Structure 1
């Protein structure tokens, strides 16, 4: 059993009550000893108590010579009590890095001369005789005799080495990237914010380079994370050679790095950016028998007084980096004032954030647009399901606002599934509407076409909501279907096996539409609206719509004309024999469930 010094007083009090024959008295707050402390201390009850505590306890006389050492102090100092007793405190305690121990004397002498209990305000790191550093907290307690005179002091040494090591490890965890040893994202952002503040106060420019490795995901996915991690470490080592001591190189996460060039103008920053591209392009990374070439895209931002936050800098640099990636990779883009390409990228990122929040909070809204028959009487309700985003301000945003960002940043599968699940759930909860429904169609993106799990997800949604499959159709755009031909054909046949209707949207937009028509066994052809819109006034558009409609009928498919926006176009389509028509002349999109008139 061991005790802290704080418990020593209670133990001593207990020992007194058991040994009344000993003439030991105490003041309320401080221990007392008899005359001749160096002798009586060893023979009193204190020796048993002091040896039981978990801290190192050293007895000191008025000249700071050691008169007593407990077992813990022997272990902490790595010196036996025989060597310690009688030695000067200044010969025993050596402050790590101190010059002739002058710093230690200046630290401790005021505490030794005081008659009060003194706790040193900061921990000290001592150097033991065996060379091992020892972090300690020091507490000085006066030793008072019966006459109230100070006979010396107790020096309490509390081992703080483990907590110091833990603090150091914690500090490293927050300031250093564990994989590469570079500065962490958090620490980089703190330094960047300091640079922004200094820039605004003193008009000193700095440069940030945002570095994203090209095609790193391919290496990581095909060769494994071990290879990917080794490559990131190698890249970090190479980038270190390009910066000055005052600059900061950080790994932000994944395959993204950043450099803060302190007090740097644009031209110098551009030269560093070009060096980054050349250095990484010349890097040959070998793993076993495999060799990899590395390139990167770099976005550069100059910090001036117009920049207000570190987040703004990183957003601009990230956007500039993606502009470089979009324009061919292995290049640099410098974000300038009124940079439209960077602004467009930032707008997309804002839409990604909005869309993510809308999916989490169920803030998307289903809409419908009527598809009307041209050649037959009323067959029941027929419409296309659309999606809108309801903003925090209550504004309803059309898909053209957020869909490009969803496509670019891999959110289309999630969005498609939200529409499918919500549409079928809504139909399942509105049996009267479902009874009147002839067909509603839902759009599928290229990302969903490519995902093998899409068909199983759709089948599960039908089962969960008890909606007849023949009342629901799925549209795929011609360009997406052609670019993913085998997957598109497999999905189309799978949907038809479930009982669903399939449609090829925007037909005619592709350069090889007719050549691929036989490979895609869809039920409906939706004629691209760019031909329909002006067909009543443009002979070429009219001829193209007619040709597509005729071919559709020849292959047994139903034809639907999109973008019918006036009566003249409506009549032209009716004369051609097109089966269905869709557009503002028929009905504008409205929330799902509203009147379809």
Structure 2
């Protein structure tokens, strides 16, 4: 309800209008009363002059003749005038000639009006007259005016109040209502406020325009609110709204169960999107979203939203673990049965789910999303289309999260150029006291003067697809150093650079490497790419193509960690590598383990049969060196000769 503002325009205008009318009317009443009083006084003065005129001849006779009979006649005449109280007459010399009193008449000084007049006879000034007239007529007129004045003032107040009321109702209150509507919108952001349109005048039109504007703003606000909270493609909740709902869950501890954050990632969306086009991919997302929504709406306390691409979030509020399992099971069942058809093709669409259960843990929405994302990623790595459910404090989950934390650190380190190139010599067993001219490139991360080994970040880089970026950075950095240090490059026999399987299978990476050779003018014969046996087995065809392509350009290849896989010898001929590096887990034990010694010797013999050079890794003592020489190993690498050192140490 609208409150009356005493300082507002409405009250001020009403008071000002009322005061103005009263001032004008009262001023006129005072003026009229003054005019009436002056009129009565003037009449009394005229009477006094008439009296003076009546006796002016007789008074002249008294002054000049001093006749007592004339004095008696004047007294008799004047006493007959009822308005006369008393009179004194003086000659020109101000000498009292005659005095007439009305002692028998009741009067006090305040009840009569004193008038002085000049006595003229035949145009000659003969004396003065002081006449006191009763003022009853004047007082009666004043009293009568007072009654009229009060009555009129009372009626004026009634009429003025009525006029103010009419003006207020007709204009001011309607303007105040319009102002109140604007105030509600401005302060409370309540665009549902509507005004009553009671006329078609300017104020009524202003109210109508106000209502129209408020309706437009309300509709736009609702539309913007909807857009701010919903995904434009699927109409599900978007990331912002999901975070708000997740924050609300964090504020309310579950009573009899758990809250849950489930991260959903479609397994075959990329296939559809890449083969059928983005428009068809969008159609798939819309269809699967509607199916997700049907499942979720059948469960109390469950909400779903899309956070981007083919990734969705399901929030579950205060449910038992069994009920949470039921929600996930229904989602999996629906997705497994779902088929997406395009033209004559049919696609199966699976979903990988990582679900985090939490109750009263001290955490944040960002941490929960990160944890569920990490869990979902593990599902996709281990068994697509499956589900992992973990508690927030689960140790395995914490390990996943630590791994994911490396993603931002790796990206940041690449941007800030925090990675450093290290080299470790690979020493020939055939040349005594030879200069080191064969190296393996190794990478280290330097953060706040602390050197971090690749065993801490390479697994995360491979897991989250960042190994290609690291490989590209390493090749660019090594080629750059070789180009600006020609003496080192000319003396170099071979420098080995490790490549991940993700780089090998990527055609764009292949072209990127070719461009770097051209950019820095590096002789291909100086470069050897190292690939791991366990890495390439999963993509053997792509690895073979990559090796053949760059071998034709003059690049050498080495197979790292040979012997660590079950099918090492089977793939050896197919890969067509130049160098075999025997896994250090075999080499380091040959001095005291006969089985390991026989295995290493067999690997060396097989390598020579296939015309491969042999590098023995992790050599740390003289005895191992001598034994490897006896086995005819071609090269030795390890701390016995040198630990990995910064590139510049070898320049």
Per the TM superposition, whether the score is higher than 0.5 is yes
Partner of 2:568: 513
Partner of 2:156: none
Partner of 1:237: 290
Where 1:181 maps in the other structure, the secondary structure is coil
Which residue of the other structure, out of 319, 329, 338, is the alignment partner of 2:384? 329
Deviation at 1:432, TM superposition (A): 3.2
Q: Does structure 1 retain, via aligned residues, the 8 Å contact 2:358–2:391?
A: no
Are the structure 2 counterparts of residues 302 and 459 from structure 1 closer, same or farther at C-alpha, using a change threshold of 3 Å? closer
Which residue of the other structure, out of 315, 334, 339, is the alignment partner of 2:394? 339
In the TM superposition, 1:189-338 aligns within 5 A as 189-199=243-253, 205-241=258-294, 242-243=296-297, 244=299, 247-336=302-391, 338=393
Deviation at 1:364, TM superposition (A): 1.0
Aligned mates of 1:137, 1:322 — CA distance in 2 = 53
Aligned mates of 1:566, 1:421 — CA distance in 2 = 34
Partner of 1:178: 232
214-223 or 320-329, larger mean C-alpha shift? 320-329
Are the structure 2 counterparts of residues 298 and 420 from structure 1 closer, same or farther at C-alpha, using a change threshold of 3 Å? same
Partner of 1:112: 174
Q: Does structure 2 retain, via aligned residues, the 8 Å contact 1:367–1:592?
A: yes
Where 1:537 maps in the other structure, the secondary structure is coil
Are the structure 2 counterparts of residues 542 and 216 from structure 1 closer, same or farther at C-alpha, using a change threshold of 3 Å? same
Aligned mates of 2:203, 2:514 — CA distance in 1 = 86
Partner of 2:120: none
Are the structure 2 counterparts of residues 138 and 121 from structure 1 closer, same or farther at C-alpha, using a change threshold of 3 Å? farther
Deviation at 1:341, TM superposition (A): 2.5
Q: Structure 2-normalised TM-score?
A: 0.66
Partner of 2:442: 386
Q: Could you give the per-residue CA deviations for residues 12-48 of structure 1, whole angstroms, max 9, x where no partner exists?
A: xxxxxxxxxxxxxxx9xxxxxxxxxxxxxxxxxxxxx
Q: Could you give the per-residue CA deviations for residues 121-157 of structure 1, whole angstroms, max 9, x where no partner exists?
A: 2459xxxxxxxxx9899899xxxxxxxxxx9888363
Aligned mates of 1:153, 1:371 — CA distance in 2 = 94
Are the structure 2 counterparts of residues 215 and 345 from structure 1 closer, same or farther at C-alpha, using a change threshold of 3 Å? farther
Are the structure 2 counterparts of residues 269 and 280 from structure 1 closer, same or farther at C-alpha, using a change threshold of 3 Å? same
Larger Rg: 2
Q: Does structure 2 retain, via aligned residues, the 8 Å contact 1:207–1:265?
A: no
Where 1:178 maps in the other structure, the secondary structure is coil
Q: Structure 1-normalised TM-score?
A: 0.72
Which runs of no fewer than 5 residues in structure 2 stay unpaired? 1-12, 14-165
Deviation at 1:420, TM superposition (A): 0.3
Q: Does structure 2 retain, via aligned residues, the 8 Å contact 1:212–1:298?
A: yes
Partner of 2:206: 155
In the TM superposition, 1:334-373 aligns within 5 A as 334-336=389-391, 338-373=393-428
Q: Which has the higher helix share?
A: 2
Deviation at 1:188, TM superposition (A): 0.7
> Does 1:169 pair with 2:197?
no
In the TM superposition, 1:396-545 aligns within 5 A as 396-545=451-600
Where 2:318 maps in the other structure, the secondary structure is coil
Q: Could you give the per-residue CA deviations for residues 166-219 of structure 1, whole angstroms, max 9, x where no partner exists?
A: 43333222200111111111111011112102229x898422222222232222
Aligned mates of 1:453, 1:305 — CA distance in 2 = 47
Partner of 1:546: 601
Partner of 2:30: none
RMSD: 3.4
